[in-house]
Amino acid sequence: MNCIDSAGGRARAFRDLIGKTSGRLASGAAVLALVALGAVLSTGAAIAAAPASPHVVEYTIQVSLDPDRKTLDGTERLVWRNPSGDPVPELRFHMYLNAFKNNRTTFMRESNRQLRGDEAGTRPEDWGWIDVLSMVGPGGKDLRPAARFIQPDGNDPADETVLSVPLPSPVPPHGEIALDIKFRSKLPRVFARTGFARDYFLVGQWFPKIGVYEPAGVRERKTGGWNCHAFHGNSEFYADYGNWDVTIDVPSRFVVGATGKRVSEAKKGGRTAYRYLQDNVHDFAWTADPRWISIEFSFDPARDVKPEWTARAVEELGMPASELALKPIACRLLLQPGHEWARERYIDSTKAGIAFYGLWYGAYPYETLTVVDPPDDAVGSGGMEYPTFITGELANPIFNKWFTRGIRGIEIVVVHEYGHQYWYGMVGSNEFEESWLDEGLNDDSEARAMAMAYGPRDVAVFPGGVGVDSLSLRHAAYIRLPNLDPIRRCAWCFASGASYGINSYMKVGLFMAQLKSDLGPRAFTRAQREYFRRWSFRHPGTKDFFDTFEEVSGRDLSTYRRNVVEGTDRLDWSVVSAKTRAAERDTGVFDRTGGRVTLDAGTEATTPGAKSKKPDSEKKKPYVSTVLVGNLGEWPHGALARLVFEDGTVVERRIPADARWVRYTVTWKSRLAHAVVDPDRANPWDWNHLNDSKVLGTGKGAADTLGGRAAVKYGGLTAALSALWTQLLWALA
C-alpha cells in the first residue's frame, strides 16, 4: 500500500507554510483558498458548501452487527495525513472499548464502575472490548505484531485503551499513510455512553480511532507530539477532522440511525447494509433498535426562527439580520415506544437549539441531524454528543405528570447536546486536557439558549410558580463544591468526579456569565462568535480563547485567566456591617464665623439664662449611617454598593476593583433601611448572595422590603411541614 500524496495534502502543506510566515490574515486567506480547492476536488458524495476542515483523516469502514453476541466485525481503511513538520515514527490509536474489558482498567478503577449514577453490569456478557485482528500498512506489512498497549498517563498497566503502532519508516512531514485494519468489537452492557440493552445498541467509540498528533505551536506546544490519552473515568474524547464513509450491516428488522447522511441501502439475505457519508467531522456514532419510531422533521429558518430571537441576536451582536441567515436541516428523531408524549418537546427543543447556536455563532454547516431517545433501561447512553448525532434523556413517563411536567430536562439535554456540535464538534478543543472549553462554554451557551426559548425560569417551573433558572442551578452546584481545583485541569486530575463535573460545566457557566456582565453583551457575544469562527475545525486551547476575547473586547483579561480559570479565586462581596444612628449634635467649643460658641448637643449656650438656639443645619440631618462592605474572596473585582433609606432615597457607589473593603458614611435625614452590594446580581461569580445585604428597617419605595413577613411565613411553613411529618407517622400509630 502506498502513501497517497493527495491534493488535500499539498494544500495543507501550503497552508502550514503560509501560516508560519504571514500571520492570521494570510492563514485566513489560505483557509479560504482551501475551501475553494476542497469544493473543486471533493467527490460527488461530499456535502456542498461545507466549511473546510483540515482533513487529517479519512475513514472508510464496513461493519457488521451480530445482535445476539453483541459484537461488531469491521474493516477500516484509514488514511492519516501528518499535520506537522515532524517525521512521525509511530501511530497511536484510541481503543476506547477496552475500558470496559475488566475491572482493572483505568476507566473502571477511576470511575468505580459507574458513570452519572449508572453502574456497570457484572455478568460475563456485560463486558466490552476491541481487538485489532490485523493492521496492514505500507508494503502490505502487518503492523499488528509490533503494536503494543501503552499507558501514556502513567495509569494502570492493565489498561489497554491506547495502542502504539511502530512504523517501519516514519510518516514524512505532511505525508500520508494508509492502513487496512480488521477489528472486532464487543459492546458492553450500556452504562457509560456506549453499548447494548436487549436489542438496543448505541455504538460510540467502537473502532480503532487514531489519536491527534499536535504540531508544535498548537495549544501552546513547544514541540510536536501525540496527544493520545488513556480513557479515564472522567475524560471524554479528542480527534482530528476528516471524511467518513461508513457502511453498517444489520439484520433487516433493525432501524438504524447514524452520523451523516444515508446515501444507500442494500438488502441481502435478511440483512440490510446502510451507507453513510459525512465530511468535516471527527467522530462517527450510530444506533440500531428494532423498536425505534422514526420521525422525520425539518428545521426551516423561515418557520422555526422567531422574529424576536433574530431581533435579540441582531441587537446583541450588532450585526444585520442578513448576516445571520440560517439554512434548512433535515432532522430525524428516533423515539422509543412509550415516550410518544415527548415527541413535540424533543422537536421544539431541537429547533430552539439550532436557532440559537446558528444565530449567535454561525449556521450549522451539515445537512442532517439525528436525535436519539434512549430507552429507560439504557439511560447511560443518553445525554451524549457525536457529530450530527445526539442522544437525549429524561423522556421517562414519570416526567409527564402534572407535578413534573414543568421540569425541562428533555429540553436542557437536547439543547446542550446539540450545542456540542459547536463546542467540541466544530471547535475541536481537547476534552481530555481542557474539558472546560467544550463542556463549560456549552453550559453557558445552553443556558442562554434556554433563556431565549423558555424565559427566565428555564430549568423548571413547578405548580405554584416556584421556578429554577440556569444561573441559580449553577450557583447551587458551585457553592457546594470544596474549592480544591481550578477550572482548567486535565479531566482525570480533579479531586473527585463532582469536582470534574462542576469545574468543567457549571463553574464555567458562571464564569462566562461573569465575563459577559463585565464585557457587556455586545463585546462578549462578538468575541465568542469570533472565537467560533476563528477556531472552527481546529484545536484551540485556553490561551487561544483568551487571546481572541482580549483582541475583540480590547480588555486585559489576565486576571480572569490567572485567578479564575487557572486559579481558584472566589469573589464574595458582602455587607459586613450596617448601622444607622441619630447624628451626634455638635458639643463643645467651636470657632465659627460669628465668633467662638459653646454648644451642648447642638444647642448654643453663650450666656447663662440666654434662650437656646438650635442651628438650622442640625435640624435637617439627624442620622448618620455607616456601611462597611468587603470582599471576602480572593479575586479583586469591583461591585456596585447601594444604600437605601427609609424615605426611599437611594445612594449608589461603584466599588473599585482593587478595593478589599470600603466604608461608606452617609448623613441623611432618614434612617438607613438596607444596604446591598451587587443589587442587580451583576457578579454571577459571587460565591454567597446571602451576605450581600443587611436590612435594618423598612420604608417606602425602594425601602419597602418584606423580610420580616418572610421570616414569619417561612417559619410557620416549616413548622407546618414538621407537623405534617408527624401526622404521616400516625400511619404507624
Partner 1 sequence: MMAQSRNPLGAGLDALEHWKLIALLVLVTVVLGVIGASPLFPAFDHSLAGTLAGDHWLRNLPGKAAADFTDFGKEHEWSIEGARAASRWAGILGIVVQIFLAGGIIAVLRHGPFGFGQLFEPARRNFWHNAKCFLLFCVALGVAESVWLGGGFYARRKLFENSPPDAASHRISWWILVAGAILIYAVLSILYDFARAARRFSPTIGAWRGWRFARAAASGSWLAALGVWLFWFLAGGVLWLGLLLAAWLMPAVSPLAILVNFALLLSALAARSAARLGAWGSWIAFLEPRARRAAAATVRIRYDIARARTSSGPLRGPTEMGGEVSPAPSH
Helix axes 343-360, 439-454, angle to 10 degrees: 110
Count CB neighbours of 318 within 10 A.
12
Instruction: Note whether 480 binds partner 1 by CB under 8 A.
Output: yes
Site string for partner 1, 187-206 (x = CB under 8 A): -----------x--------
**C-alpha cell recorded at residue 161:** 485503551
Interacting stretch for partner 1, rule CB under 8 A, among 55-63, 307-315, 527-535, 702-710? 702-710
Is the backbone of residue 493 left (phi > 0), alpha (psi -120 to 50) or beta? alpha
Instruction: Note whether 705 binds partner 1 by CB under 8 A.
Output: yes
Instruction: Note whether 724 binds partner 1 by CB under 8 A.
Output: yes
SS3 of residue 442 by DSSP? helix
Instruction: Note whether 712 binds partner 1 by CB under 8 A.
Output: yes
C-beta closer to partner 1: residue 273 or 677: 677
Rounded to a whole number of angstroms, the minimum distance from the CB of residue 523 to partner 1 is 22
Rounded to a whole number of angstroms, the minimum distance from the CB of residue 189 to partner 1 is 11
Position 625: which residue type?
Answer: S
Binding test (CB under 8 A) with partner 1, winner from 25, 302, 398, 690:
690
* Inter-residue contact 603 to 615 (CB < 8 Å): no
SS3 of residue 119 by DSSP? strand
> Partners of 664 in the beta sheet?
627
Interacting stretch for partner 1, rule CB under 8 A, among 72-80, 540-548, 600-608, 681-689? 681-689
The CA-atom distances, in angstroms, between 22 and each of 16, 27, 679 are 10, 7, 48
C-beta closer to partner 1: residue 616 or 725: 725
Instruction: Note whether 729 binds partner 1 by CB under 8 A.
Output: yes
Rounded to a whole number of angstroms, the minimum distance from the CB of residue 142 to partner 1 is 40
> Position of cell 469491521?
74
Count CB neighbours of 479 within 10 A.
14
For the chain, percent helix, then strand, then coil, each to nearest 5? 35, 30, 40
> Which residues, at least 6 apart from 607, have a Cβ–Cβ distance to it below 8 Å?
none
C-beta closer to partner 1: residue 291 or 669: 291
Instruction: Note whether 482 binds partner 1 by CB under 8 A.
Output: no
Instruction: Note whether 626 binds partner 1 by CB under 8 A.
Output: no
For the chain, the residue count is: 733
Instruction: Note whether 683 binds partner 1 by CB under 8 A.
Output: no
Site string for partner 1, 313-342 (x = CB under 8 A): -----------------------xxxx---
CA distance 463 to 482: 33
Binding test (CB under 8 A) with partner 1, winner from 577, 606, 665, 727:
727
Interacting stretch for partner 1, rule CB under 8 A, among 16-24, 47-55, 589-597, 707-715? 707-715
Rounded to a whole number of angstroms, the minimum distance from the CB of residue 96 to partner 1 is 27
Instruction: Note whether 310 binds partner 1 by CB under 8 A.
Output: no
Binding test (CB under 8 A) with partner 1, winner from 467, 521, 615, 636:
467
Residues in contact with partner 1, counted by CB under 8 A, come to a total of 64
Instruction: Note whether 271 binds partner 1 by CB under 8 A.
Output: no
Instruction: Note whether 718 binds partner 1 by CB under 8 A.
Output: yes
Contacts (CB under 8 A) with partner 1, residues 361-420: 375-377
> Position of cell 449556521?
363
Instruction: Note whether 701 binds partner 1 by CB under 8 A.
Output: no
**C-alpha cell recorded at residue 197:** 440493552
Binding test (CB under 8 A) with partner 1, winner from 44, 269, 465, 609:
465
Instruction: Note whether 650 binds partner 1 by CB under 8 A.
Output: no
Interacting stretch for partner 1, rule CB under 8 A, among 1-9, 16-24, 305-313, 457-465? 457-465
Instruction: Note whether 464 binds partner 1 by CB under 8 A.
Output: yes
* Inter-residue contact 381 to 402 (CB < 8 Å): no
Binding test (CB under 8 A) with partner 1, winner from 41, 263, 476, 495:
476
Position 589: which residue type?
Answer: V
Binding test (CB under 8 A) with partner 1, winner from 463, 520, 656, 701:
463
Strand ranges in 303-451 using DSSP code E only, listed in sequence order: 329-335, 368-372, 384-386, 389-391
C-beta closer to partner 1: residue 157 or 456: 456
Strand ranges in 67-113 using DSSP code E only, listed in sequence order: 71-81, 88-94
Closest C-alpha to 377, from 256, 291, 285: 291
Strand order in the sheet with 573-582: 573-582, 623-631, 661-668
* Inter-residue contact 256 to 288 (CB < 8 Å): yes
Binding test (CB under 8 A) with partner 1, winner from 110, 236, 279, 469:
469
Contacts (CB under 8 A) with partner 1, residues 280-299: 291
CA distance 78 to 132: 13
Give the CA-trace dihedral at 232, 233, 237, 238, to 10 degrees: -30
Buried/exposed code over 90-99 (b: 16+ C-beta within 10 A; e: otherwise): bbbbbbbbbb
Binding test (CB under 8 A) with partner 1, winner from 330, 468, 576, 651:
468
C-beta closer to partner 1: residue 103 or 727: 727
SS3 of residue 613 by DSSP? coil
Rounded to a whole number of angstroms, the minimum distance from the CB of residue 250 to partner 1 is 18
Rounded to a whole number of angstroms, the minimum distance from the CB of residue 413 to partner 1 is 18
| Chain residues in the site for partner 1 (CB under 8 A) | 198, 291, 336-339, 375-377, 456-457, 463-469, 471-473, 475-476, 479-480, 674, 676, 681, 688-695, 705-727, 729-733
